Chains A and B, each alone.
Chain A
Protein backbone atom coordinates (compact mmCIF):
# COMPACT_ATOMS: atom_id res chain seq x y z
CA UNK A 1 0.00 0.00 0.00
CA UNK A 2 1.18 3.50 -0.75
CA UNK A 3 2.15 5.84 2.03
CA UNK A 4 0.15 8.92 1.11
CA UNK A 5 2.23 11.32 3.24
CA UNK A 6 5.43 10.11 1.62
CA UNK A 7 3.93 10.49 -1.83
CA UNK A 8 2.77 14.01 -1.02
CA UNK A 9 6.24 14.97 0.19
CA UNK A 10 7.79 13.54 -2.98
CA UNK A 11 5.28 15.40 -5.13
CA UNK A 12 6.07 18.60 -3.25
CA UNK A 13 9.76 18.13 -4.03
CA UNK A 14 8.96 17.33 -7.67
CA UNK A 15 7.11 20.62 -7.89
CA UNK A 16 10.38 22.41 -7.10
CA UNK A 17 12.27 20.52 -9.81
CA UNK A 18 13.84 17.83 -7.59
CA UNK A 19 14.68 15.02 -10.02
CA UNK A 20 15.77 12.64 -7.23
CA UNK A 21 12.34 12.93 -5.65
CA UNK A 22 10.79 12.20 -9.01
CA UNK A 23 12.90 9.05 -9.42
CA UNK A 24 11.83 7.87 -5.99
CA UNK A 25 8.19 8.67 -6.74
CA UNK A 26 8.45 6.73 -9.99
CA UNK A 27 10.03 3.72 -8.30
CA UNK A 28 7.36 3.66 -5.61
CA UNK A 29 4.31 4.15 -7.77
CA UNK A 30 5.08 3.02 -11.32
CA UNK A 31 4.46 -0.73 -10.79
CA UNK A 32 0.85 -0.07 -9.75
CA UNK A 33 0.36 2.60 -12.40
CA UNK A 34 1.83 0.30 -15.06
CA UNK A 35 -0.52 -2.45 -13.88
CA UNK A 36 -3.44 -0.07 -14.24
CA UNK A 37 -2.33 1.05 -17.72
CA UNK A 38 -1.92 -2.57 -18.82
CA UNK A 39 -5.38 -3.31 -17.54
CA UNK A 40 -6.95 -0.39 -19.42
CA UNK A 41 -4.92 -0.52 -22.66
CA UNK A 42 -4.59 -4.31 -22.80
CA UNK A 43 -1.41 -3.76 -24.79
CA UNK A 44 2.05 -3.81 -23.21
CA UNK A 45 3.67 -1.51 -25.83
CA UNK A 46 0.89 1.02 -25.50
CA UNK A 47 1.02 0.80 -21.69
CA UNK A 48 4.77 1.42 -21.78
CA UNK A 49 4.38 4.51 -23.95
CA UNK A 50 1.58 5.82 -21.79
CA UNK A 51 3.55 5.16 -18.62
CA UNK A 52 6.22 7.54 -19.83
CA UNK A 53 3.62 10.13 -20.87
CA UNK A 54 1.83 9.88 -17.52
CA UNK A 55 5.01 10.44 -15.51
CA UNK A 56 6.05 13.34 -17.75
CA UNK A 57 2.65 14.81 -16.99
CA UNK A 58 3.11 14.19 -13.26
CA UNK A 59 6.50 15.92 -13.40
CA UNK A 60 5.07 18.92 -15.24
CA UNK A 61 1.91 19.21 -13.19
CA UNK A 62 3.19 18.40 -9.70
CA UNK A 63 3.01 22.07 -8.81
CA UNK A 64 -0.75 22.09 -9.54
CA UNK A 65 -1.43 19.40 -6.93
CA UNK A 66 -3.52 20.67 -4.04
CA UNK A 67 -1.02 20.06 -1.24
CA UNK A 68 -2.52 19.48 2.18
CA UNK A 69 -6.06 18.83 1.09
CA UNK A 70 -5.95 16.27 -1.72
CA UNK A 71 -4.85 12.67 -1.75
CA UNK A 72 -1.50 12.30 -3.57
CA UNK A 73 -2.09 8.62 -4.38
CA UNK A 74 -5.51 9.52 -5.73
CA UNK A 75 -4.06 12.30 -7.86
CA UNK A 76 -1.52 9.94 -9.42
CA UNK A 77 -4.07 7.19 -10.06
CA UNK A 78 -6.63 9.59 -11.52
CA UNK A 79 -3.96 11.22 -13.72
CA UNK A 80 -2.93 7.83 -15.10
CA UNK A 81 -6.47 6.51 -15.49
CA UNK A 82 -7.75 9.64 -17.23
CA UNK A 83 -4.74 9.64 -19.55
CA UNK A 84 -5.34 6.03 -20.55
CA UNK A 85 -9.09 6.48 -20.97
CA UNK A 86 -8.64 9.66 -23.02
CA UNK A 87 -6.26 7.81 -25.34
CA UNK A 88 -8.60 4.88 -25.60
CA UNK A 89 -11.51 7.10 -26.54
CA UNK A 90 -9.45 9.14 -28.99
CA UNK A 91 -8.66 5.98 -30.87
CA UNK A 92 -12.37 5.06 -30.76
CA UNK A 93 -11.61 1.40 -30.92
CA UNK A 94 -12.52 -1.39 -28.63
CA UNK A 95 -9.56 -2.68 -26.69
CA UNK A 96 -8.27 -6.00 -27.98
CA UNK A 97 -9.82 -8.84 -26.07
CA UNK A 98 -7.00 -11.27 -26.78
CA UNK A 99 -3.77 -10.14 -25.29
CA UNK A 100 -0.34 -10.28 -26.82
CA UNK A 101 1.25 -11.16 -23.54
CA UNK A 102 -1.14 -12.43 -20.92
CA UNK A 103 1.64 -12.80 -18.38
CA UNK A 104 2.02 -9.04 -18.28
CA UNK A 105 -1.59 -8.40 -17.47
CA UNK A 106 -2.90 -7.71 -14.04
CA UNK A 107 -5.04 -10.42 -12.54
CA UNK A 108 -8.45 -8.83 -12.06
CA UNK A 109 -9.17 -10.98 -9.05
CA UNK A 110 -7.74 -9.95 -5.70
CA UNK A 111 -4.69 -12.05 -4.94
CA UNK A 112 -4.22 -13.52 -1.44
CA UNK A 113 -1.61 -10.97 -0.50
CA UNK A 114 -3.69 -8.00 -1.54
CA UNK A 115 -6.69 -9.51 0.20
CA UNK A 116 -4.71 -9.50 3.43
CA UNK A 117 -3.62 -5.90 3.15
CA UNK A 118 -6.87 -4.68 1.69
CA UNK A 119 -7.79 -1.38 3.20
CA UNK A 120 -11.04 -0.96 5.07
CA UNK A 121 -12.34 1.30 2.37
CA UNK A 122 -11.61 -1.11 -0.47
CA UNK A 123 -13.01 -3.95 1.56
CA UNK A 124 -16.25 -2.11 2.24
CA UNK A 125 -16.47 -1.05 -1.38
CA UNK A 126 -15.97 -4.62 -2.54
CA UNK A 127 -18.65 -5.83 -0.15
CA UNK A 128 -21.03 -3.23 -1.51
CA UNK A 129 -20.26 -4.18 -5.11
CA UNK A 130 -20.83 -7.83 -4.22
CA UNK A 131 -24.33 -6.94 -3.00
CA UNK A 132 -25.27 -6.09 -6.59
CA UNK A 133 -26.52 -8.66 -9.10
CA UNK A 134 -23.47 -10.43 -10.58
CA UNK A 135 -23.76 -8.90 -14.06
CA UNK A 136 -24.14 -5.42 -12.61
CA UNK A 137 -21.24 -5.94 -10.22
CA UNK A 138 -19.13 -6.96 -13.21
CA UNK A 139 -20.21 -3.85 -15.09
CA UNK A 140 -19.30 -1.62 -12.14
CA UNK A 141 -15.87 -3.24 -11.90
CA UNK A 142 -15.32 -2.73 -15.62
CA UNK A 143 -16.16 0.94 -15.23
CA UNK A 144 -13.78 1.35 -12.28
CA UNK A 145 -10.87 -0.70 -13.50
CA UNK A 146 -11.11 -0.83 -17.29
CA UNK A 147 -12.54 2.63 -17.88
CA UNK A 148 -15.49 1.20 -19.82
CA UNK A 149 -18.27 3.55 -20.90
CA UNK A 150 -22.03 3.07 -20.87
CA UNK A 151 -21.88 2.44 -24.64
CA UNK A 152 -19.16 -0.23 -24.39
CA UNK A 153 -20.98 -2.03 -21.61
CA UNK A 154 -24.32 -1.82 -23.42
CA UNK A 155 -22.80 -3.34 -26.57
CA UNK A 156 -21.13 -6.08 -24.60
CA UNK A 157 -24.28 -6.93 -22.65
CA UNK A 158 -26.48 -6.62 -25.75
CA UNK A 159 -28.85 -4.15 -24.13
CA UNK A 160 -29.94 -0.65 -25.19
CA UNK A 161 -27.70 2.19 -24.06
CA UNK A 162 -30.36 3.72 -21.82
CA UNK A 163 -30.99 0.40 -20.13
CA UNK A 164 -27.31 0.09 -19.29
CA UNK A 165 -27.21 3.70 -18.12
CA UNK A 166 -30.16 3.08 -15.80
CA UNK A 167 -28.65 -0.16 -14.44
CA UNK A 168 -25.32 1.41 -13.75
CA UNK A 169 -26.75 4.56 -12.22
CA UNK A 170 -28.89 2.47 -9.88
CA UNK A 171 -25.86 0.37 -9.05
CA UNK A 172 -23.74 3.42 -8.25
CA UNK A 173 -26.48 4.85 -6.01
CA UNK A 174 -26.80 1.47 -4.27
CA UNK A 175 -23.05 1.42 -3.68
CA UNK A 176 -23.10 4.94 -2.25
CA UNK A 177 -26.02 4.08 0.06
CA UNK A 178 -24.36 0.84 1.10
CA UNK A 179 -21.14 2.70 1.98
CA UNK A 180 -23.11 5.15 4.12
CA UNK A 181 -24.70 2.38 6.19
Chain B
Protein backbone atom coordinates (compact mmCIF):
# COMPACT_ATOMS: atom_id res chain seq x y z
CA UNK B 1 0.00 0.00 0.00
CA UNK B 2 2.81 2.35 0.99
CA UNK B 3 4.65 1.43 -2.21
CA UNK B 4 1.59 2.37 -4.28
CA UNK B 5 1.34 5.70 -2.44
CA UNK B 6 5.05 6.40 -2.97
CA UNK B 7 4.60 5.63 -6.67
CA UNK B 8 1.63 7.96 -6.87
CA UNK B 9 3.55 10.71 -5.04
CA UNK B 10 6.44 10.37 -7.48
CA UNK B 11 4.02 10.58 -10.42
CA UNK B 12 2.37 13.67 -8.95
CA UNK B 13 5.78 15.18 -8.34
CA UNK B 14 6.80 14.60 -11.96
CA UNK B 15 3.55 16.05 -13.25
CA UNK B 16 3.98 19.12 -11.05
CA UNK B 17 7.58 19.54 -12.11
CA UNK B 18 6.68 19.24 -15.78
CA UNK B 19 3.93 21.82 -15.43
CA UNK B 20 6.38 24.17 -13.69
CA UNK B 21 9.01 23.61 -16.39
CA UNK B 22 6.55 24.30 -19.20
CA UNK B 23 5.34 27.41 -17.39
CA UNK B 24 8.85 28.79 -16.81
CA UNK B 25 10.11 27.93 -20.28
CA UNK B 26 7.07 29.39 -22.02
CA UNK B 27 5.97 26.03 -23.45
CA UNK B 28 2.50 26.09 -21.96
CA UNK B 29 -0.38 27.27 -24.12
CA UNK B 30 -2.07 30.53 -23.03
CA UNK B 31 -4.85 28.80 -21.06
CA UNK B 32 -2.40 26.52 -19.23
CA UNK B 33 -0.18 29.52 -18.63
CA UNK B 34 -2.97 31.36 -16.80
CA UNK B 35 -3.75 28.28 -14.69
CA UNK B 36 -0.07 27.77 -13.84
CA UNK B 37 0.37 31.42 -12.99
CA UNK B 38 -2.58 31.16 -10.61
CA UNK B 39 -1.22 27.93 -9.16
CA UNK B 40 2.18 29.52 -8.56
CA UNK B 41 0.45 32.07 -6.35
CA UNK B 42 -1.68 29.59 -4.41
CA UNK B 43 0.37 26.39 -4.19
CA UNK B 44 3.66 26.71 -2.36
CA UNK B 45 5.02 23.35 -3.49
CA UNK B 46 4.35 24.29 -7.10
CA UNK B 47 5.85 27.75 -6.53
CA UNK B 48 9.04 26.09 -5.23
CA UNK B 49 9.18 23.93 -8.34
CA UNK B 50 8.80 27.03 -10.50
CA UNK B 51 11.69 28.61 -8.60
CA UNK B 52 13.84 25.51 -9.26
CA UNK B 53 13.25 25.73 -13.01
CA UNK B 54 13.80 29.48 -12.99
CA UNK B 55 17.14 28.96 -11.27
CA UNK B 56 18.16 26.42 -13.92
CA UNK B 57 17.26 28.89 -16.62
CA UNK B 58 19.25 31.70 -15.02
CA UNK B 59 22.24 29.43 -14.45
CA UNK B 60 22.22 28.41 -18.09
CA UNK B 61 21.82 31.99 -19.29
CA UNK B 62 24.68 33.14 -17.06
CA UNK B 63 27.05 30.54 -18.42
CA UNK B 64 25.96 30.06 -22.01
CA UNK B 65 24.99 33.55 -23.10
CA UNK B 66 28.02 35.69 -23.79
CA UNK B 67 27.89 39.26 -22.58
CA UNK B 68 27.47 41.85 -25.34
CA UNK B 69 27.99 45.55 -24.74
CA UNK B 70 24.77 47.31 -25.69
CA UNK B 71 24.96 50.42 -27.89
CA UNK B 72 25.49 53.51 -25.66
CA UNK B 73 22.42 55.27 -27.05
CA UNK B 74 20.17 52.76 -25.25
CA UNK B 75 21.33 54.01 -21.87
CA UNK B 76 20.87 57.62 -22.99
CA UNK B 77 17.32 56.93 -24.15
CA UNK B 78 16.60 55.05 -20.95
CA UNK B 79 17.88 57.92 -18.81
CA UNK B 80 15.57 60.33 -20.63
CA UNK B 81 12.64 57.97 -20.31
CA UNK B 82 13.28 57.38 -16.58
CA UNK B 83 13.72 61.11 -16.00
CA UNK B 84 10.37 61.78 -17.67
CA UNK B 85 8.64 59.08 -15.69
CA UNK B 86 10.06 60.52 -12.45
CA UNK B 87 8.72 63.97 -13.38
CA UNK B 88 5.31 62.51 -14.04
CA UNK B 89 5.44 60.41 -10.91
CA UNK B 90 7.65 62.10 -8.30
CA UNK B 91 9.48 59.78 -5.97
CA UNK B 92 7.64 60.98 -2.86
CA UNK B 93 4.30 60.10 -4.43
CA UNK B 94 5.82 56.85 -5.59
CA UNK B 95 7.03 56.10 -2.07
CA UNK B 96 3.58 56.72 -0.63
CA UNK B 97 2.03 54.62 -3.40
CA UNK B 98 4.42 51.78 -2.62
CA UNK B 99 4.06 52.02 1.14
CA UNK B 100 2.28 49.33 3.10
CA UNK B 101 0.80 51.92 5.47
CA UNK B 102 -0.96 53.67 2.59
CA UNK B 103 -2.52 50.43 1.39
CA UNK B 104 -3.45 49.42 4.93
CA UNK B 105 -5.30 52.72 5.30
CA UNK B 106 -7.01 52.13 1.95
CA UNK B 107 -7.99 48.59 3.02
CA UNK B 108 -9.40 49.83 6.32
CA UNK B 109 -11.41 52.52 4.52
CA UNK B 110 -12.72 49.93 2.10
CA UNK B 111 -13.80 47.68 4.99
CA UNK B 112 -15.70 50.48 6.69
CA UNK B 113 -17.31 51.50 3.38
CA UNK B 114 -18.32 47.90 2.66
CA UNK B 115 -19.97 47.49 6.07
CA UNK B 116 -21.80 50.83 5.81
CA UNK B 117 -22.94 49.94 2.28
CA UNK B 118 -24.16 46.55 3.52
CA UNK B 119 -26.15 48.18 6.31
CA UNK B 120 -27.71 50.67 3.88
CA UNK B 121 -28.80 47.95 1.49
CA UNK B 122 -30.61 45.88 4.13
CA UNK B 123 -33.74 47.97 3.91
CA UNK B 124 -33.97 47.95 0.14
CA UNK B 125 -35.66 44.63 -0.64
CA UNK B 126 -36.11 43.33 -4.17
CA UNK B 127 -37.90 40.28 -2.89
CA UNK B 128 -37.18 38.40 0.29
CA UNK B 129 -34.09 36.58 -0.83
CA UNK B 130 -32.53 39.53 -2.60
CA UNK B 131 -33.00 41.66 0.46
CA UNK B 132 -31.44 39.17 2.86
CA UNK B 133 -27.85 39.82 3.83
CA UNK B 134 -25.51 37.82 5.97
CA UNK B 135 -22.20 38.43 7.58
CA UNK B 136 -19.79 35.61 8.39
CA UNK B 137 -16.38 35.65 9.99
CA UNK B 138 -14.02 32.68 9.57
CA UNK B 139 -11.32 32.36 12.12
CA UNK B 140 -8.74 29.63 12.52
CA UNK B 141 -5.01 29.18 13.11
CA UNK B 142 -4.21 29.84 9.43
CA UNK B 143 -7.29 31.75 8.35
CA UNK B 144 -8.94 35.00 9.26
CA UNK B 145 -11.52 36.05 6.68
CA UNK B 146 -14.75 37.99 6.66
CA UNK B 147 -17.48 37.64 4.06
CA UNK B 148 -20.68 39.44 3.25
CA UNK B 149 -23.48 37.51 1.48
CA UNK B 150 -25.98 39.65 -0.32
CA UNK B 151 -28.68 39.08 -2.92
CA UNK B 152 -28.49 40.81 -6.26
CA UNK B 153 -31.37 41.27 -8.68
CA UNK B 154 -29.16 40.46 -11.66
CA UNK B 155 -27.52 37.37 -10.22
CA UNK B 156 -28.69 33.78 -9.92
CA UNK B 157 -28.02 33.65 -6.25
CA UNK B 158 -26.45 35.51 -3.38
CA UNK B 159 -23.04 36.97 -3.93
CA UNK B 160 -20.54 36.04 -1.26
CA UNK B 161 -17.91 38.76 -1.16
CA UNK B 162 -14.83 38.94 1.01
CA UNK B 163 -14.51 42.15 2.96
CA UNK B 164 -10.98 43.43 2.49
CA UNK B 165 -9.14 43.16 5.76
CA UNK B 166 -5.44 43.67 6.19
CA UNK B 167 -3.39 40.56 5.43
CA UNK B 168 -6.30 38.24 5.95
CA UNK B 169 -6.45 36.78 2.48
CA UNK B 170 -2.69 36.78 2.36
CA UNK B 171 -2.78 34.54 5.42
CA UNK B 172 -4.52 31.95 3.31
CA UNK B 173 -2.32 32.42 0.27
CA UNK B 174 0.76 31.74 2.34
CA UNK B 175 -0.47 28.24 3.08
CA UNK B 176 0.17 25.31 0.79
CA UNK B 177 -2.38 24.02 -1.70
CA UNK B 178 -5.83 24.96 -2.87
CA UNK B 179 -8.45 26.20 -0.43
CA UNK B 180 -12.16 25.48 -0.80
CA UNK B 181 -15.21 27.13 0.66
CA UNK B 182 -18.04 25.01 2.02
CA UNK B 183 -21.55 25.64 3.19
CA UNK B 184 -22.32 23.61 6.33
CA UNK B 185 -26.11 23.43 6.66
CA UNK B 186 -27.45 22.61 10.07
CA UNK B 187 -27.39 18.79 10.47
CA UNK B 188 -26.64 18.09 6.85
CA UNK B 189 -23.56 17.21 4.81
CA UNK B 190 -21.24 19.99 3.60
CA UNK B 191 -21.95 21.60 0.23
CA UNK B 192 -18.98 22.75 -1.80
CA UNK B 193 -19.14 26.39 -2.91
CA UNK B 194 -15.93 26.36 -4.93
CA UNK B 195 -12.24 27.06 -4.83
CA UNK B 196 -11.26 30.13 -2.88
CA UNK B 197 -9.41 32.45 -5.27
CA UNK B 198 -6.45 34.22 -3.78
CA UNK B 199 -7.46 37.73 -4.68
CA UNK B 200 -7.80 40.77 -2.45
CA UNK B 201 -11.51 40.64 -3.24
CA UNK B 202 -13.08 37.20 -3.44
CA UNK B 203 -16.55 36.74 -4.95
CA UNK B 204 -18.46 33.48 -5.09
CA UNK B 205 -22.08 32.70 -5.91
CA UNK B 206 -24.43 30.93 -3.49
CA UNK B 207 -27.26 29.65 -5.72
CA UNK B 208 -30.73 30.72 -4.60
CA UNK B 209 -31.82 27.16 -3.84
CA UNK B 210 -29.19 27.12 -1.07
CA UNK B 211 -30.08 30.53 0.35
CA UNK B 212 -32.83 29.24 2.71
CA UNK B 213 -30.15 27.08 4.37
CA UNK B 214 -27.97 30.05 5.31
CA UNK B 215 -30.05 31.04 8.32
CA UNK B 216 -28.69 28.21 10.49
CA UNK B 217 -25.61 27.36 8.46
CA UNK B 218 -21.91 27.84 8.80
CA UNK B 219 -19.31 28.76 6.22
CA UNK B 220 -16.10 26.72 6.27
CA UNK B 221 -12.78 26.72 4.54
CA UNK B 222 -10.85 23.51 3.90
CA UNK B 223 -7.42 22.58 2.69
CA UNK B 224 -7.73 20.68 -0.56
CA UNK B 225 -5.09 18.02 -0.37
CA UNK B 226 -3.57 16.42 -3.44
CA UNK B 227 -5.79 13.38 -3.02
CA UNK B 228 -8.89 15.54 -3.03
CA UNK B 229 -11.37 16.58 -0.39
CA UNK B 230 -11.67 14.46 2.75
CA UNK B 231 -14.36 11.80 2.47
CA UNK B 232 -15.37 11.82 6.11
CA UNK B 233 -16.02 15.20 7.63
CA UNK B 234 -15.16 16.09 11.18
CA UNK B 235 -14.53 19.44 12.83
CA UNK B 236 -10.85 18.95 12.07
CA UNK B 237 -11.60 18.71 8.35
CA UNK B 238 -11.74 22.48 8.12
CA UNK B 239 -9.17 25.16 8.63
CA UNK B 240 -11.84 27.51 9.94
CA UNK B 241 -15.59 27.83 10.26
CA UNK B 242 -17.93 30.72 10.97
CA UNK B 243 -21.67 31.05 11.46
CA UNK B 244 -23.78 33.14 9.10
CA UNK B 245 -25.18 36.12 10.99
CA UNK B 246 -28.25 37.78 9.52
CA UNK B 247 -27.83 41.54 9.10
A137 contacts chain B at the CB level, 8 A cutoff: no
Query: How would residues 140 to 152 of chain A score, 1 for a CB under 8 Å from any chain B CB and 0 otherwise?
Result: 0101110101100
| Cα–Cα, bound, A169→B22 (Å) | 9
Complexed CA–CA distance, A16 and B95 (Å): 6
Determine whether the beta carbon of A121 is less than 8 Å from that of B55: yes
The residue that A173 contacts in the complex, of B17, B57, B60, with Cβ under 8 A, is B17
Tell me the minimal C-beta distance from B71 to chain A in angstroms.
Answer: 6
Query: Cβ of B74 < 8 Å from any Cβ of A?
Result: yes
B25 touches A143 (CB 8 A): yes
Cβ of B83 and Cβ of A74 under 8 Å apart? no
CA distance A110 to B61 in the complex (A): 10
Interface size class of A (residues with CB under 8 A): 35 or more
- Please give, as numbers and ranges, the residues of chain B lying within 8 Å of A110 by CB-CB distance: 63-64
Q: Is B69 an interface residue (CB 8 A)?
A: yes
Interface pair A122/B63, CB less than 8 Å apart = yes
Cβ-based interface call for A132 (8 A): no
Q: Which residues of the partner chain B approach A78 to less than 8 Å between Cβ atoms?
A: 24, 54, 57-58
B167 at interface by CB-CB < 8 Å = no
User: Does residue B75 face the partner (Cβ distance < 8 Å to A)?
Assistant: yes
Find the A residue at minimum CB distance from B92. Answer: A17
Contact of A55 among B62, B67, B78 (CB under 8 A): B78
Query: Can you list 30 A-B pairs, Cβ within 8 angstroms, ordered by A?
Result: A17-B89, A19-B86, A30-B74, A31-B68, A31-B70, A32-B62, A32-B65, A34-B70, A35-B68, A36-B65, A48-B70, A48-B74, A51-B70, A70-B51, A74-B54, A74-B55, A74-B58, A81-B26, A106-B66, A114-B66, A118-B63, A121-B56, A123-B63, A145-B64, A145-B65, A150-B27, A172-B22, A173-B14, A173-B18, A179-B56
Q: A30-B74, A56-B82, A145-B60 are in contact. List 18 more A-B contacts (CB 8 A).
A: A2-B62, A15-B98, A19-B79, A32-B65, A32-B67, A34-B67, A48-B70, A52-B81, A63-B98, A70-B51, A71-B58, A82-B26, A85-B26, A106-B65, A115-B63, A144-B61, A172-B21, A176-B18
